[in-house]
Structure 1
Amino acid sequence: MEGAPERQIVPDVVRQHAEQAAFFWAQRDTLMEDDPPDLHVVAGVDRRLEANLDGLRIAGPAAWPFVVAAYEDFPEKGELFLYGWMAIEQNDGRRVADAVEFGRQSQDGARGLVGALAWHKPVTIAPLVRDWIGAPDAFKRFLGVSACLGHCVDPKQMLARLVRDPDARVRATGLRLAGKLKRADLANELAAGLNDAEVRSRFWAAWSLAELGSGDLASSELRKVAASNGPDAMVALRAVVKAEPDKDVRAWMGGLLKSPETAQLAVRGAGMLGDRTILHWLIHQMRNPALAVAAGSALLELFPEAREADLFTTEPSQVSPAFEDHFGEEVAKVPFADKVKAWGVALKLVSGSSP
């Protein structure tokens, strides 16, 4: 409250809360990018993050010097999350405006600020979202529609405008939201989005059509995005698996497997089919350095319990010289094929004679 005396704080403790909150959110965001993410580990990080945010809540406005210093020293996604979260938490209009400008200047799509909006409860951010979602400023519209996406909130008739927004980033996010909300009334707009000049808009239009059950319309675009092996490849691959008949998906993946450029997609996609009888085949793929990462991800999707076993390394050189030659100094999470085989045999998932 304006005019209220600042609370007495222990500066070193509040500084640590600020630094840890930024670190834990950045760690959380990175962990969620894993394929597939370990949600148990993420939940543990969330608890530590929330404990540090509680410390900042208790400190109140007195925490601001430490929040500002954290961002000035290291203006990355975790620190932007912290700044945006604190500004919203304190209902500080000037600081919120600063956070918006910091987000506008960020090089990663304002992930931290979008994350802060997702972390707060919908009722807390509702006034901001109402102001932003129809604003002349495209970046504010992007924040508004991203907040709706993060909370799965339907902006009702406004969404029909957002899926046709002149700004490509707003449009792509709106198209994605339409699919997440299963807005069948926007099917025509989604179909029109397949002809969008922007790749990501076409992709999210296709993804949303698949979510609405129109995979026949979306199939070509989804397959194209998956085969491109770009940033949306895994989402597109999963959408193909979900939307198309099993026999069609398997035939398509068989084609992908024949090319060195797309073979890893076929191996990863095999894990999305839900067929646990392919473990012996996956073990065989794990012996190929080019396919090992994809095979490991497929293993974790089919057998989440494998996370509890010591089956992986982030130092490929520990597997074999061939892996060291393939990965060089790159850090990659690869499985030990022999350990996976022994684990599978012990659990009677594969026979001892399998590869």
Structure 2
Amino acid sequence: MLSASNKSKSDGTPNRRIVPDVVRQHAEQVAFFWAQRDTLMAADPPNLNVVAGVDRRLEANLDGLRIAGSAAWPFIVAVYEDFPEKGELFLYGWMAVELNDGRRIAEVVEHGSRSEDGACGMVGALAWHRPATIAPLVRDWIGAHDAFKRYLGVSACLGHGVDPKQMLVRLVRDPDPRVRAASLRLAGKLGRADLVPQLGAALDDTEKLPRFWAAWSLAELGSGNAASSELRKVAVSGSADAMTALRAAVKAAPDRDVRAWMGGLFKSPETAPLAVRGAGMLGDRNILHWLIHQMRAPALVAAAGISFLELFPEAKEYDELFSVEPDLLGEKIAEHFEQDPPYLPVADRVKEWAIERGLLADPIASPRD
């Protein structure tokens, strides 16, 4: 792809002969694959095998940029200017840190501060690098006057599971709500039981995200009773954090209370899919017969399929249990998805699979199932 000459530029970096089209493609592919990876990781649940495949392709293209070195910058800047989204910010941020280029790091921090997607890409770049590589930046940022830099510093700690020790006591009360939210989340991830009083106080925060992550962390730390109300509120909100909140809500309260809450959700068409999805988080494989029944309901089939795979992960090896074919899924489901259904469980096939393995205690309990 390139070779280094013996001459140097005026700034001391070596001149490199590159193939422009190849370097441009590496830059574009890095942005694309990381954005794809970020989207895949947000799925419920993420397909880690698919993510691993994307990671390999991403890393191969990062290697190309490593070899190109600073000669890649014109292409990286062009990619970002053409489409300044999260993948392009990951690309820009990763390369700036990789080359320890202070000017470019300052640029990408400025770019990232302008949008939530930009912040996402920059946080992703920090998470991709080794902790030792980003440690000097994190030490400078986590106590900075600029709120976005503090957010990046805390997010880097979150991505790598690094404990900022006593500084976290101050950060969970930071004036900036995004910094508070990330810090409160970090407290739960690190198991900082010493911060339970601060987490409890944050349940009264005026901002939604800090309240939610305080509640989530309390559930992680075994103090979820006080947090259940906030977690359940977020779970039914339809927000990006709804599934995370649902899982935390299941963890936060006694099993009987959680089942009663889900029973209430199941009575409403608007929240019934949430109840079916939450049922899979309870870890009770005895609900298989009930789940198969929900697979016949157009509005519930998707949630039932995800819960089934969570309870029976071994079923992922059997592709024939799921399909996108309207003829296999049935007329009602096909109509519900306007004849273009996603990958959904085929109830009859799941039933047969379960019977063959003795997973259904009474296979003739219902003439329909």
Short-chain TM bin: over 0.9
Measure, in 2, the Cα distance between the counterparts of 1:105 and 1:266.
37
Partner of residue 334 from structure 1, selected from 310, 325, 344:
344
What is the DSSP-based 3-state SS (H/G/I as helix, E as strand, rest coil) of the residue aligned with 1:154?
A: coil
1:117–1:64: structure 2 CA closer, same or farther, 3 Å change rule?
Answer: same
Measure, in 2, the Cα distance between the counterparts of 1:98 and 1:292.
47
Q: How far off its partner does 1:226 sit?
A: 1.5
Measure, in 1, the Cα distance between the counterparts of 2:105 and 2:259.
49
1:19-58 to 2 correspondences below 5 Å: 19-58=28-67
Q: Which amino acid aligns with 2:28?
A: E
Q: How far off its partner does 1:336 sit?
A: 2.2
Q: How far off its partner does 1:314 sit?
A: 5.4
% identity of equivalent residues: 73
Gaps of 5+ in 2: 1-7
1:260-294: CA deviations, max 9, x gaps? 12111111111111122222211111111111111
The total of aligned residue pairs comes to 355
1:304-323 to 2 correspondences below 5 Å: 304-310=313-319, 311-313=321-323, 319-323=329-333
Q: Please, what TM-score do these two structures have when normalized by structure 1?
A: 0.93
TM-align CA RMSD: 2.1
1:104–1:316: structure 2 CA closer, same or farther, 3 Å change rule?
Answer: farther
Name the residue aligned to 1:217. 226
Measure, in 2, the Cα distance between the counterparts of 1:21 and 1:5.
24
Contact 1:316 1:333 in 2 (8 A): no
Measure, in 1, the Cα distance between the counterparts of 2:340 and 2:141.
41
Name the residue aligned to 1:247. 256
Measure, in 2, the Cα distance between the counterparts of 1:191 and 1:297.
32
What is the DSSP-based 3-state SS (H/G/I as helix, E as strand, rest coil) of the residue aligned with 2:100?
A: coil
Contact 1:317 1:323 in 2 (8 A): no
Does residue 1:204 correspond to 2:204, yes or no? Answer: no
Name the residue aligned to 2:24. 15
Q: How far off its partner does 1:177 sit?
A: 0.7
Measure, in 2, the Cα distance between the counterparts of 1:49 and 1:313.
29
1:59-98 to 2 correspondences below 5 Å: 59-98=68-107
Name the residue aligned to 2:3. none
What is the DSSP-based 3-state SS (H/G/I as helix, E as strand, rest coil) of the residue aligned with 1:108?
A: helix
Q: Which amino acid aligns with 1:298?
A: S
Name the residue aligned to 1:189. 198
Name the residue aligned to 1:108. 117
1:262–1:177: structure 2 CA closer, same or farther, 3 Å change rule?
Answer: same
Measure, in 1, the Cα distance between the counterparts of 2:150 and 2:257.
39
Of the structure 1 ranges 2-11 and 41-50, higher mean CA displacement relative to structure 2 is found in 2-11
Bigger-Rg structure (1/2): 2
Q: Which amino acid aligns with 2:255?
A: D
Q: Please, what TM-score do these two structures have when normalized by structure 2?
A: 0.90
Measure, in 2, the Cα distance between the counterparts of 1:114 and 1:271.
31
1:208-249: CA deviations, max 9, x gaps? 111121112112211222232322221111112223222222
Contact 2:236 2:271 in 1 (8 A): yes
Measure, in 1, the Cα distance between the counterparts of 2:85 and 2:109.
14
Contact 1:316 1:332 in 2 (8 A): no
1:346–1:67: structure 2 CA closer, same or farther, 3 Å change rule?
Answer: farther
Does residue 1:343 correspond to 2:353, yes or no? Answer: yes
